[in-house]
Structure 1
Amino acid sequence: MIAAVLFDLDGTLLDHERAAAEAITRSFPDADPAWLAARWRELSEEAIDRYLAGELSLAAQRRARIVALAGELGLGDWDEARADAWFSGFLVSYETAWRPFPEVRRVLEVLAGRGLRLGVITNGDLGQQRTKIERMGLAGLLPHVVASSETGTGKPAAGIFRDACAGLGVGPAAAAYVGDRLITDAQGAAAAGLTGVWLDRSGDPPPTGLEVARITSLDALPGLLDAVSPPGGRWAAP
């Protein structure tokens, strides 16, 4: 029986992509917005991967993103002070745009009403991620937050999933984990012994041979948990 449900944060509960796109296009209004949002997303993912691998500090990965983008926009070679000052302003715009996906609160309330223990596992800085949850008004529903900045390891490593389960007082087999990335979230959780659930909002057909649960909206999660597959079983594509 599932006793606890843990969630990824950015892209699963928080509409991070929309918030980041709003903030970056506001920062450079003369650039093509579609190209700008896509390129910022690419640079962000590259820099954050290096941060999680221990190659860059939190501040350094932020600088790497804007220094690269400024160069591509023909704005010259920015030094650390200029990059840091710009990023401070960007964060204000980004934070202003933080919003949960529309169904998030009602789904969390349904799960909490069933007596399930709820929490978050996130690759990122604990302070910023807690602030996101608080600003979205979800702190009361998601009291338990585990972040890679505190554990020293990030998803998809098994340790961060197991640490989160231990913090909730449940074994991995009694926990489900929901995230928008197939490998990092759903498959990583499944490898750690949890029920991995892939939240795929893309609208694309599911890949063949999928061995984790797939939903296209969090609204489907309560029903999915009612029909959780037996250990070792495969999930049928919806």
Structure 2
Amino acid sequence: MLFDLDGTLLDHDRAAAEAIVRAFPDADAAWLVPRWTDLGEAAIERYLAGELDFAGQRRARIGTLARELGLGTWDDARADAWFAGYTTLYEAAWRPYPDAVPAVEALAAEGLRLGVITNGDVRQQRSKLVGIGLAGRLPHLTASSEVGWAKPAPEIFRSACAGLGLAPGAVAYVGDRLLTDAQGAAAAGLTGIWLDRSDGPAQGAPDVVRITGLDALPRLIAGMA
């Protein structure tokens, strides 16, 4: 059983929102939080595409935001110094979703081989698992920065399965993004499970299984055995 990390196990959006509001307490939070989210998603896409390195995507995010806040143009040194402080705030806000630890514990108790597939820097993603107390339960970490492929590329899913010593058809993968996670996994031959935490109406996704919380996983996986 493999998991996505941000948005599935770790509440990244809440942590990032808390950190950016603390970093700019005088800004309008109603504008600041969604704008920071948009800048982050755009920068990460460029990082995964190889247009920016990890430091570069960070500089792009804060550089744009600083200009929009009327703080002028920041050089790399200022951007890096700011991001170091922001990272401290972000890490302090790391929390697992309430259903994450119980679900992982239940699956571990069943003797399943467990791991994570994540698009991101392996060092930071490993630190997140340690920070939310799941590193010991999820020993197999496959990160795009190490393997050279990013979700939804089938190679990253198959690399993770090889790390478990299992064929893709014997592995299930759960993530919060329908296309990138669940359908990407299904296209690579895994059982794709879409974690849809939204309050909206259910959307059709015939090639994957949809759940609304990780607490559904143990029974779901037991039914697949």
- Point out 4+ residue stretches in structure 1 off by more than 4 angstroms: none
Aligned partners of 1:103 and 1:218 also within 8 Å: yes
1:117 to 109, 113, 120: 113
Shift in Å, 1:68 = 0.4
1:209, CA displacement in angstroms?
Answer: 4.8
Tell me the equivalent position of 1:7.
3
Q: Which residue of 1 aligns with 2:43?
A: 47
1:43-82 equivalences under 5 Å are 43-82=39-78
Please state how far the C-alpha of 1:99 moved relative to its aligned partner. Answer: 0.5
Could you list the per-position Cα deviations for residues 173-222 of structure 1 after superposition, in whole angstroms to 9, with x for gaps in the alignment? 00000000000000000000000001010111122353211111100111
2-structure distance, mates of 1:150, 1:209: 30
Mind listing any 5+ residue stretches in structure 2 that lack a counterpart? Answer: none
Which of 207, 215, 218 lines up with 1:222 in the alignment? 218
After TM superposition, list the pairs within 5 Å mapping 1:1-238 onto structure 2.
5-228=1-224
| Structure 1: distance between partners of 2:129 and 2:19 | 19
The alpha-carbon deviation at position 131 of structure 1 amounts to 0.7
Q: Quote the RMSD (CA, aligned, Å).
A: 1.1
Aligned-pair distance for 1:136?
Answer: 1.1
Question: CA, structure 1 residues 102+209, in 2 after alignment: closer, same or farther (shift >3 Å)?
Answer: closer
| Structure 1: gaps (5+ residues) | 230-238
TM-score (norm 1): 0.92
- C-alpha distance 81-22 of structure 1, shift in aligned 2 (>3 A): same
Which one-letter code corresponds to 2:145 in the other structure?
A: S
Query: What amino acid is aligned across from residue 19 of structure 1 in structure 2?
Result: A
Deviation for aligned residue 1:59: 0.3
Paired letter, 2:121: D
Give the CA deviation at 1:85: 0.6
